[in-house]
Amino acid sequence: MIYSSELIKGTLKTIVLKLLADNKKMYGYEITQRVKELTFDRIQITEGALYPTLHALESDGLVTTETEYIGKRVRKYYSLSPSGKNKTKEKVSELADFMETMKFLLDIKPKTA
Amino acid sequence: MIYSSELIKGTLKTIVLKLLADNKKMYGYEITQRVKELTFDRIQITEGALYPTLHALESDGLVTTETEYIGKRVRKYYSLSPSGKNKTKEKVSELADFMETMKFLLDIKPKTA
DNA sequence: CAAAGATACATAAGAAAATTATGTATTTGA
DNA sequence: TCAAATACATAATTTTCTTATGTATCTTTG
């Protein structure tokens, strides 16, 4: 079972930031594979969604990049900047908080019947 | 603190369906107020988001409507159809499942210091 | 050794879903 | 009486993702 894509909306940036916080530096393709692994294939980040997100994080100054060559193939590593680290803490705790709220909302039992 | 709007994206339909499951019938404005109450003002559904969502649920056959007049003012009540009840169960359990996965993702600790 | 599949980047067109703004109208409360 | 709350609705814009496409290299397998 794969989560309907609408659920991933709004959480992608947070997922990426958190992975970078946990791993110091990662490249795009690696991120897609790691998320796939960690979620047992239930969340699959597409490249069309990921790369624009990474570029946005970079232009917001939340990540820095370094390019490496593996043979002739280019690989672009992303790392959190200091402000990226702060942003990650904010985003992760906001999402955790939000999930508590949602859990509460979804647990409410009917008054009627 | 109000959750950043991107977090609400993708969960709105599920929230609305779940509220209708718990309350048999509700009208739009009531839904916005109920969500505000239940979340201590942290989730505020705007009318521009809610009404199109309700109309979509209706055209998908997930809810039925009945119009009532309170004085001269119109009030449009929404109720779940049988297929809406099934859909609600699906959506709620998918979201609950998704939140477990996200919780796991966000809890992962750094390997590197 | 050729071909398929995996690795690795990127961007553009289109779709989906929300935000923001606007509009109408009634009712309530200060 | 006048502002705020109640109650609906829609349109323009923005944001964000999907889908499609493009390029290129490396690895595995028949």
Residue B33 lies in a domain: yes
Interface of A with B (CB under 8 A): 3-4, 6-11, 13-15, 18, 21-24, 35, 38-39, 42-43, 92, 94-99, 101-106, 108-113
- For residue B78, the enclosing domain spans 5-107
Q: What is the pLDDT of residue A86?
A: 96
Stretch B77-101: mean pLDDT: 95
User: Over the stretch B9-59, which tens digit does the pLDDT of each residue have?
Assistant: 889 999 999 999 999 999 999 999 999 999 999 999 999 999 999 999 999
Residue B49 domain-assigned (yes or no): yes
- Domain assignment present for B113: no
Task: Examine residue B103 and state whether it is found in any structural domain, yes or no.
Answer: yes
- Residue A97 is part of a domain; what is its CATH number? 1.10.10.10
Domain count, chain A: 1
> What DSSP line would sit under chain B, residue for residue?
----HHHHTTTHHHHHHHHHHHHSEEEHHHHHHHHHHHTTTS----HHHHHHHHHHHHHTTSEEEEEEEETTEEEEEEEE-HHHHHHHHHHHHHHHHHHHHHHHHHHPPPS--
pLDDT at B76 over 70: yes
Residue A19 lies in a domain: yes
